[in-house]
């Protein structure tokens, strides 16, 4: 399913346009200095992978973060 980029939370699993997948561990503001861009990063034992997105765009979410308790 696709969701708004601004709705992505840490723990969400996303798929990039090339098919690579990442579980978000960090959300960076101002990708490459652009206020209209975000970047989702997985920095884990498994991999380091970064995926940028426009703030007003949508991204493909493969799996959602566990509900907050």
- Site residues, another protein (CB under 8 A): 16-20, 31-33, 43-45, 47-52
Nearer to another protein by Cβ, of 48 and 63: the residue is 48
CB of 14 vs another protein, minimal distance in Å: 11
φ and ψ at residue 12, rounded to 5 degrees: -65, 145
- Listing DSSP states for 14-62 in one string gives EE-TTS-EEE-SEEEESGGG-TTEEEEEEESSS-EEEEEEETTSEEEEE
Q: Compare residues 6 and 25 and give the one whose CB is closer to another protein.
A: 25
Residue closer to another protein by CB (options 9, 47) is 47
């Amino acid at each position: 399913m696709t969701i708004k980029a601004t709705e992505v939370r840490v723990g969400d699993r996303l798929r990039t346009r090339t098919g690579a997948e990442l579980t978000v561990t960090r959300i960076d503001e101002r990708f490459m200095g652009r206020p209209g861009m975000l970047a989702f990063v997985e920095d884990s034992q498994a991999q380091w992978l970064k995926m940028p997105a426009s703030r007003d765009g949508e991204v493909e979410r493969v799996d959602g973060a566990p509900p907050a308790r």
